[in-house]
Amino acid sequence: MEISQLTDEKLIKLYKNGNSKAFEILLFRYKLEIYNYIFSFTHNRELTEDFFQDTLVKAIQTIQQERYEESGKFLPWLKRIAHNLIVDYFWDKKKINTISASSTEFDLLNYHVSSEKCIEDIMFNEQVLLDAVKLVDFLPIPQRSVVRMRFFEGLNFNEIAEKDNVSVNTALGRMRYALLNMRRIVAEKEIDLELK
């Protein structure tokens, strides 16, 4: 059997044993999907390239340090690395904010951690924000796109409408339905998004 036909698990084992071609095959197998996944968040080629490279470096380091545990989910693992890097980036840029389940809008751009909070509260709040960001992944693609452009890129609704080639009312409607869907998910899953 040719090396290119091996499973992800076997390729990772080969790579751990020094076969760099094995990782090249894995990269070729998933490069486009990872790149598109990152771009769906950033809508910026340069930023996407940076996140893509950082994702590969982190994956390589984790595998080489024997910290990767094969579970048949190599692609989701790569996506999780990319997702965490993106969240960290927007966190550092103060572009992740709170979601209020009771309001009609939420602002992901003005969250600030008080220095007076204890470490447990800070860690709890970070998890709440990560959960809020994960909720976006459950939205239909048009709604997900509007939420990401509005809150991760800071675009106004006129810019979103122009970028998506839709009317401003359509962009506003998608945001409204996105918020309703997110509230429904929060209620169904009994997720607590209240910050301490």
Q: Give the pLDDT confidence score for residue 120 in this predicted structure.
A: 58
- pLDDT above 90 as % of the chain: 9
Q: Please name every residue paired with 182 in a beta bridge, in sequence order, or none if there are none.
A: none
pLDDT of 105: 45
Average pLDDT over residues 2-23: 89
Which pLDDT score, from 0 to 100, does residue 195 have?
53
Select the more confidently predicted residue: 11 or 190.
11
User: Per residue in 102-112, is it b (16+ CB within 10 Å) or e — as a string?
Assistant: eeeebebbebe
Integer-rounded Cα Rg, in Å, for the chain is 19
Query: What CATH number corresponds to the domain at position 7?
Result: 1.10.1740.10
DSSP string, 33-63: HHHHHHHHHH--HHHHHHHHHHHHHHHHHHH
Instruction: For residues 75 and 150, state if they share a domain.
Output: no
pLDDT tens per residue, range 37-48: 888 888 888 888
Summary mean pLDDT of the chain: 78
Residues 175 and 117 in one domain: yes
Across the range 6-18, mean pLDDT stands at 89
Does one domain contain both 45 and 99? no
Q: What's the confidence (pLDDT) of residue 111?
A: 42
What are the tens digits of pLDDT across the range 134-152?
778 888 889 888 888 887 6
- How would you write 97-160 as a 3-class SS string? CECCCCCCCCECCCCCCCCCCCHHHHHHHHHHHHHHHHHHCCCCHHHHHHHHHHHHCCCCHHHH
C-alpha angle 31-37-43 in degrees, rounded to nearest 5:
115
Flag whether the pTM goes above 0.75.
no
Q: Are residues 28 and 9 in the same domain?
A: yes
| The last residue of a domain, from among 93, 113, 148 | 93
Q: What digits encode the pLDDT tens for the residues 105-134?
A: 444 444 444 444 455 555 665 666 666 677
CA-wise closest residue to 67 among 59, 55, 78: 59
Q: 98 and 135 share a domain?
A: yes
CA–CA distance, 149 with 39 (Å, rounded to integer): 12
